[in-house]
Amino acid sequence: MAIPAGSNRGAGIFSSRRESLRPAGDIPPVPLAYCPITDKLKDECGVFAVFGHPDAAKLTALGLHALQHRGQEAVGIVSFDEGRFHAERRVGLVGDNFNDPAVMDRLKGRLVAGHVRYSTTGDSVLRNAQPLFADLGETGVAVGHNGNLTNARTLRETLARNGAIFQSTSDTEVLLHLIALSRKRKFVERLIESLLQIEGAYAFAGLTNDLLFAARDPVGIRPLVLGRLGEAWVITSETCALDIVGATFVRDVENGEVVIIAKDGLTSHRAFPKRPARPCIFEYIYFSRPDSISNGLSVYDARLG
């Protein structure tokens, strides 16, 4: 599964970091919304995660390559295997950083999450490369995020006043601190309690030591889809990433939904009351690849009008 090397567009390995982290214990078309855009259009981030495949890391690298248009600043992959989390986070493009067999061999396991980054918030530096990781004691959690949390600054200040120490300037780290502070027993309960405190557009995909999770904001501003590859599950930002790994599209993650994938299968949880979906119109006219299908609508057809 060789990945093409990058072009001049952000290419090159500017810096790298390898980590072996601490062990852990045991639809029809919908109405569109206009999203705030700065002085020039830029891509959002992309997520790709796999549960239950022996080549999960290689599939993730290939899936992230298909999502490269969503972020060219940094790329990261985190895996879990035999009691340990393993992470590779790099600045630059997927093809420039994940073609080395030695790098891929370090990302062992059948449970993997990856991310390509464009900085909606935070600096374009390695410490903000995702998925971000937190040690929760009895387990760990790694998460990648596509979107922008509008109340992240307020939450960050509150968390810092209460002793939280932030390792990055990314708004994604706020979610990790909220999960860590939750006193709920089950991970899904901790995740939902944390989601209820954040605002803005988000599509999260991540993992713990025994499950994959996905979450989409209450109105579905950013895309997130589910796929199957044999017995394995795939979570990703766009259907084009399913196509490149040979996975079959199952459905969109619904707005306001939390999905948990574990050894006993997939479970769906409603984090918010049902609301009409309002996906960002720029996903159809700019961000997404033309060969993707989002919320039941072909991006190519949407651009043709």
Element spanning 144, H or E = strand 140-149
CA dihedral 285, 286, 292, 293 (to 10 degrees): -40
Q: How far does Cα 68 stand from its chain's mean position?
A: 13
- The C-alpha atoms of residue 142 and residue 34 are separated, in whole angstroms, by 30
Secondary structure class of 132 (helix, strand, coil): strand
User: How far apart (Å, rounded) are the C-alpha atoms in residues 294 and 298?
Assistant: 6
**One of 35, 45, 240, 280 is an active-site residue; which one?**
45
Does 35 qualify as catalytic in the annotation? no
Residue 153 has which token pair?
A: 């600054």
Contact (CB, 8 A) for 210 and 262? yes
Please give the torsion angle defined by the CA atoms of residues 143, 145, 151 and 153, in that order, rounded to the nearest 10 degrees.
70
Q: What is the C-alpha R_g of the chain?
A: 18
The CA distance from 260 to 188, in Å, is 7
DSSP assignment of 185-229 equals: SSHHHHHHHHHTT--EEEEEEEE-SS-EEEEE-TT--S--EEEEE
Active site residues per annotation: 45
